[in-house]
C-alpha cells in the first residue's frame, strides 16, 4: 500500500519537476533554497536504503515476486564483481607464482637414498579410478567455472564480447551438467578413503613441524600424513558444500528465494576458489614437485624408499609384513619384461 | 562458408562414408566364407548362439567381482548414450526433419540431463580404467583411445550447445559428429553393429561342440 501511495504521489509530482527551470538547487547553494525532490524519497523507499525490507503485492505468485527492487541483490553483485572476481583471480595467480618459485628454488624433492626399484602396493585399481574420475571432473568444472567467474575481465579484452558469450554459454551448460558428477565422484572418494584419513596420534607433530619445513630432520607419517589428511577432508567438506550449493543454484524450483541463491553462489565460489588454489599445490607435490609420488596414482605401486621417506610408519608396516616386491616382479605386473626394470625406474623418477 | 560446408557437403560426405563403410564391413564379414563344420554336432548351435546374445549381458559369476566397475560403467555409458542418441529432443527433431520424415516422443529435459550425466560418468570411468589397469592398458590400441576421446568430444560439444542459442556451438557439435561418422566404420565403434552377430557366432560355435559359452 505504501509503495502504491508513493507511486501515485510520484506520478502527480513528476510533471512539476520536469516543468521546473533547470536542476533543483541545493540547500547550501548561494543562489537560493529549494525543496528536496519527492522523487528521491520515493526511490529511497523503493531501493530500501533505510534497511527496511518492503514486500509489495503482485499478480505473479512466486518467491520474491512482491519485491520491486532487490537491494541485497545489488550488494551481492557488487561483492561478486569487486571482491570475488578480483581476489579470486589474484589468489589463483599467486599460488601459481609460489609453485613456480618453489620449483625454481627447491626443484624436485629427491628420495633419500634414491629409487630402490623395489615396490609396494599403495592404491588399488578402483581407488585410482575413483581418484582420476574426480580429478577429470574437477578440472573440467574448474576451467568452466573460472571462465564464468573471470571470463568477463580476462577473456572479453582478448576475444571480444561475442566470442566470450559463446564461451560463457558453453561453460555454463557444461558446468551445470558436470556438477552432479562431482557429487557422485565425491561420494565414491569418501567411501574409498575415509577410514585411512581419520586423524591419529602423531599427526599434530607433523603439523607443528610444518610437514618437515620447520626444524631439522624427518617428520613421521602414516599411510597418509597430516597434510594429505587435511587436504582430503577439505575436499570432502568443502566439496560437499560446493556440490549442495551448486544443486541449489542449478535447480531454482524448490522455492528458494534470491537471498538463498545469492548465499549459495557466494559459498559455491569461495569454496571452489579454496579447492582450486590448494589443488594446484596438490598437483605440484603429486607430480613434478616430489620424486616418485606420481607413481602411486599411476601404477598403484610406490618405491619402498619413497614410502620410508614420506610415510615411514606405513613403510615400516610394509617391511614387517613383507609386502615389498622386487623390481622384476613389478615389471611383470606392469606387463614389462624383467629387463625393463631400468626403464621403469626412470619413468618412476619423472 | 564454414556453416555451408558443415551443414551441406561435409554432412552428406560423412553420412555416405558411414553408410557405405558400415555396409562394406558387415558385408565383408557375412560374405567372408568359411569351411563347413563336418564334425558331429554335440549340441544345438542355433539355440546356443541365440542364448549367448543375451547371456553375455550379465558377467560370469566367477569374474564379476573383478570387473564390477567395468560392467556398471559400461551400462551407464551405453544406455546413457543410446537414450541421448535416439530420445533427446533435438536429435528426434533432427532425424525427423533431415532423414526419416517422422519422429517420436522425446524424453523430458530432466531425463535428457540424467542420461547425459550417466553417459559421461560411464565413459570417464571406462577410459580411466583402460589407462590405470595394467592389462587393459597393454591390450589397448591407439584406436581404442581415439574412439573414447572422439565419442567424449562429440557428447561434450552436444552438451555445451544445450542452450541452442549459438550457431557456432551447433556447428561445432555437428562437425564433431561428422568426424565421428567418418571414423566409425574403420574403428572399434563397429562393435555397435557386430556385437550381436559376434556373440551369436561364438555361442553357436561352442554350442555345436557341447560347450556352454
- Average pLDDT, stretch A214-225? 76
In a domain, residue B189? The reply is yes
Give the closest-approach CA distance of B15 to chain A in angstroms.
26
Cell of A271: 569454496
d(CA A168, CA A157): 14
- The CATH code that applies to domain A72-123+194-349 is 1.20.950
Higher pLDDT, A194 or B1: A194
CA distances from A266 to A81, A175, A261, A322 (A): 12, 16, 9, 50
Nearest chain B Cα to A170, which residue? B160
In a domain, residue B41? The reply is no
> CATH code at B147?
1.20.950.20
d(CA B170, CA A139): 24
pLDDT, averaged across chain A: 84
Question: Of the ranges A2-11, A123-132, A282-291, B203-212, which one carries the lowest mean pLDDT score?
Answer: A2-11
- Average pLDDT, stretch A41-50? 73
Give the closest-approach CA distance of A150 to chain B in angstroms.
19
Q: Does residue A106 contact residue A314 with C-beta atoms inside 8 Å?
A: no
**Residue A299 reports pLDDT greater than 50:** yes
Give the closest-approach CA distance of A287 to chain B in angstroms.
16
Q: Which of A129, A181, A335 sits opposite B128 (nearest CB)?
A: A129
**Residue A72 reports pLDDT greater than 70:** yes
pLDDT-based confidence at residue A55 (cuts at 50, 70, 90):
confident
- % of chain B exceeding 90 in pLDDT: 75
Q: Which DSSP string corresponds to chain B?
A: -HHHHHHTHHHHHHHHHHHHHHHHHHHHHHTT------SPPSS-HHHHHHHHHHHTTS--TTTTTTTHHHHHHHHHHHHHHHHHHHHSHHHHHHHIIIIIS---PPPPHHHHHHHHHHHHHHHHHHHHHHHHSHHHHHH--HHHHHHHHHHHHHHHHHHHTTT---HHHHHHHHHHHHHHHHHGGGSGGGHHHHHHHHHHHHHHHHHHTT---
Please give the pLDDT value at position A18: 45
In a domain, residue B36? The reply is no
In a domain, residue B77? The reply is yes
pLDDT (tens digit per residue) in B153-179:
999 999 998 888 889 999 999 999 999
- % of chain A exceeding 70 in pLDDT: 81
Q: Which residues of A touch B160 (CB under 8 A)?
A: 169-171, 173-174
Please give the pLDDT value at position A345: 60
Please give the pLDDT value at position B50: 92
Please give the pLDDT value at position A7: 53
Put simply, the answer to whether B132 touches A184 (Cβ < 8 Å) is no
Select the residue from B160, B167, B169, B170 to test the A interface by mutation, using most A Cβ atoms within 10 A: B160
**Residue A110 reports pLDDT greater than 90:** no
**Residue A339 reports pLDDT greater than 80:** no
**Residue A235 reports pLDDT greater than 90:** yes
d(CA A297, CA A276): 20
Put simply, the answer to whether B117 touches A173 (Cβ < 8 Å) is no
Put simply, the answer to whether A166 touches B161 (Cβ < 8 Å) is no
Q: Which of A129, A171, A184 sits opposite B69 (nearest CB)?
A: A129
pLDDT (tens digit per residue) in A19-35:
444 455 445 555 666 67
- Average pLDDT, stretch A35-57? 73
Sequence-distant (6+) residues with CB within 8 A of A78 are: none
Select the residue from A177, A182, A337 to test the B interface by mutation, using most B Cβ atoms within 10 A: A177
Contacts 24+ apart (CB under 8 A), A276-279: A276/A92, A276/A142, A276/A146, A277/A91, A277/A92, A277/A95, A278/A231, A278/A234, A279/A138, A279/A142
In a domain, residue B25? The reply is no
Residue with cell 567424449: B152
Put simply, the answer to whether B138 touches A335 (Cβ < 8 Å) is yes
By the 10 Å C-beta count (0-12 exposed, 13-18 middle, 19+ buried), B127 is classed as buried
pLDDT-based confidence at residue A302 (cuts at 50, 70, 90):
very high
In a domain, residue B48? The reply is no
**Residue A17 reports pLDDT greater than 60:** no
Number of domains chain B is built from: 1
Give the closest-approach CA distance of A199 to chain B in angstroms.
29
Residues of B at the A interface (Cβ-Cβ below 8 Å)? 69, 113, 116-117, 120-121, 124-125, 128-129, 131-135, 137-138, 156, 159-163, 165-166, 168-169
What is the domain extent for residue B98? 2-20+68-208
pLDDT-based confidence at residue A343 (cuts at 50, 70, 90):
low
Look at residue A187 and give its three-state secondary structure. Answer: helix
Give the closest-approach CA distance of A175 to chain B in angstroms.
9
Cell of B33: 566364407
Q: Which of A133, A169, A335 sits opposite B134 (nearest CB)?
A: A335
Please give the pLDDT value at position A19: 44
Residues of A at the B interface (Cβ-Cβ below 8 Å)? 125-126, 128-129, 132-133, 136-137, 165-166, 169-174, 177-178, 180-181, 184, 298-300, 333-335
Q: Which residues of B touch A173 (CB under 8 A)?
A: 159-163
- Average pLDDT, stretch A65-87? 85
Q: Which of A125, A170, A184 sits opposite B169 (nearest CB)?
A: A170
Cell of A62: 512466486
Q: Does residue A92 contact residue A277 with C-beta atoms inside 8 Å?
A: yes
Look at residue A324 and give its three-state secondary structure. Answer: strand
Question: What are the residue ranges of helices labelled H in A215-292?
Answer: 226-250, 258-286
Please give the pLDDT value at position A189: 96
Please give the pLDDT value at position A344: 60
Sequence-distant (6+) residues with CB within 8 A of B25 are: B185, B190, B193, B194
Higher pLDDT, B72 or A220: B72
Higher pLDDT, B66 or A187: A187
Put simply, the answer to whether B128 touches A132 (Cβ < 8 Å) is yes
Please give the pLDDT value at position A230: 92
Sequence-distant (6+) residues with CB within 8 A of A297 are: A123, A128, A131, A132, A286
Nearest chain B Cα to A296, which residue? B132
**Residue B86 reports pLDDT greater than 70:** yes
In a domain, residue B100? The reply is yes
Q: Which of A129, A137, A173 sits opposite B159 (nearest CB)?
A: A173
Please give the pLDDT value at position A62: 78
Question: Of the ranges A214-228, A261-275, A309-323, which one carries the lowest mean pLDDT score?
Answer: A214-228
In a domain, residue B38? The reply is no
- Average pLDDT, stretch A34-48? 75
pLDDT (tens digit per residue) in A150-206:
998 899 999 999 999 999 999 999 999 999 999 999 999 999 999 999 998 878 887
Angle formed by the axes of helices B142-160 and B109-132, to 10°?
A: 150
pLDDT-based confidence at residue A236 (cuts at 50, 70, 90):
very high
Please give the pLDDT value at position A350: 53
Please give the pLDDT value at position A137: 97
Please give the pLDDT value at position A32: 64
Amino acid at each position: 500500500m505504501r509503495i502504491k501511495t508513493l507511486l501515485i504521489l510520484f506520478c502527480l509530482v513528476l510533471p512539476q519537476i520536469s516543468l521546473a527551470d533547470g536542476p533543483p538547487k541545493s540547500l547550501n547553494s548561494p543562489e537560493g533554497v529549494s525543496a528536496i525532490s519527492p522523487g528521491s524519497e520515493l526511490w529511497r523507499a523503493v531501493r530500501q536504503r533505510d534497511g527496511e525490507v518492503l514486500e509489495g503485492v503482485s499478480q505473479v505468485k512466486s518467491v520474491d515476486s512482491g519485491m520491486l527492487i532487490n537491494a541485497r541483490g545489488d550488494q551481492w553483485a557488487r561483492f561478486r564483481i569487486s571482491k570475488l572476481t578480483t581476489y579470486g583471480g589474484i589468489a589463483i595467480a599467486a599460488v601459481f607464482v609460489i609453485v613456480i618459485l618453489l620449483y625454481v628454488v627447491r626443484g624436485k624433492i629427491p628420495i633419500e637414498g634414491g629409487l630402490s626399484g623395489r615396490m609396494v602396493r599403495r592404491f588399488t585399481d578402483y581407488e585410482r579410478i575413483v581418484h582420476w574420475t574426480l580429478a577429470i571432473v574437477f578440472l573440467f568444472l574448474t576451467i568452466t567455472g573460472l571462465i564464468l567467474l573471470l571470463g568477463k575481465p580476462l577473456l572479453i579484452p582478448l576475444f571480444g564480447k561475442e566470442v566470450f558469450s559463446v564461451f560463457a554459454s558453453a561453460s555454463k551448460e557444461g558446468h551445470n551438467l558436470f556438477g552432479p558428477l562431482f557429487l557422485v565422484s565425491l561420494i565414491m572418494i569418501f567411501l574409498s578413503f575415509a577410514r585411512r584419513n581419520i586423524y591419529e596420534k602423531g599427526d599434530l607433530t607433523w603439523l607443528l613441524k610444518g610437514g618437515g619445513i620447520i626444524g631439522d630432520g624427518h617428520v613421521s607419517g602414516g599411510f597418509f600424513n597430516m597434510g594429505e589428511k587435511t587436504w582430503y577432508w577439505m575436499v570432502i567438506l568443502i566439496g560437499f558444500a560446493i556440490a549442495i550449493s551448486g544443486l541449489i543454484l542449478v535447480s531454482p524450483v524448490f522455492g528458494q528465494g534470491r537471498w538463498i541463491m545469492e548465499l549459495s553462489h557466494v559459498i559455491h565460489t569461495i569454496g571452489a576458489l579454496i579447492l582450486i588454489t590448494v589443488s594446484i599445490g596438490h598437483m605440484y607435490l603429486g607430480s613434478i614437485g616430489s620424486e616418485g609420488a606420481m607413481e602411486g596414482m599411476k601404477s598403484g605401486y610406490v618405491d619402498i624408499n619413497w614410502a620410508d621417506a614420506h610415510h615411514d610408519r606405513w613403510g615400516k608396516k610394509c617391511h614387517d609384513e613383507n609386502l615389498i616386491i622386487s623390481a622384476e616382479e613389478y615389471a611383470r605386473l606392469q606387463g614389462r619384461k624383467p629387463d625393463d626394470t631400468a626403464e621403469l625406474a626412470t619413468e618412476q623418477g619423472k | 562458408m564454414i556453416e555451408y560446408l558443415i551443414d551441406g557437403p561435409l554432412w552428406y560426405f560423412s553420412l555416405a562414408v558411414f553408410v557405405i563403410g558400415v555396409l562394406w564391413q558387415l558385408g565383408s564379414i557375412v560374405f567372408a566364407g568359411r569351411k563347413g563344420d563336418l564334425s558331429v554336432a554335440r549340441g544345438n548351435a542355433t539355440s546356443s548362439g541365440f542364448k549367448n546374445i543375451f547371456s553375455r549381458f550379465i558377467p560370469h559369476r566367477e569374474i564379476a567381482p573383478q570387473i564390477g566397475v567395468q560392467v556398471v560403467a559400461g551400462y551407464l555409458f551405453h544406455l546413457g548414450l543410446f537414450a541421448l542418441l535416439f530420445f533427446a529432443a533435438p536429435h528426434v527433431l533432427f532425424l525427423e526433419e533431415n532423414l526419416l520424415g517422422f519422429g517420436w516422443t522425446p524424453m523430458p529435459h530432466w531425463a535428457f540431463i540424467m542420461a547425459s550425466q550417466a553417459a559421461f560418468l560411464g565413459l570417464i570411468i571406462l577410459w580411466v580404467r583402460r589407462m590405470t589397469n595394467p592389462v587393459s592398458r597393454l591390450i589397448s590400441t591407439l584406436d581404442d583411445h581415439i574412439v573414447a576421446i572422439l565419442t567424449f568430444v562429440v557428447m561434450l560439444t552436444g552438451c555445451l550447445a544445450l542452450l541452442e542459442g549459438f550457431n557456432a556451438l551447433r556447428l561445432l557439435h555437428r562437425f564433431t559428429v561428422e568426424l565421428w561418422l567418418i571414423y566409425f566404420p574403420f574403428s572399434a565403434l563397429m562393435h555397435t553393429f557386430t556385437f550381436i552377430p559376434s556373440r551369436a557366432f561364438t555361442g553357436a560355435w561352442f554350442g555345436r561342440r557341447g560347450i556352454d559359452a
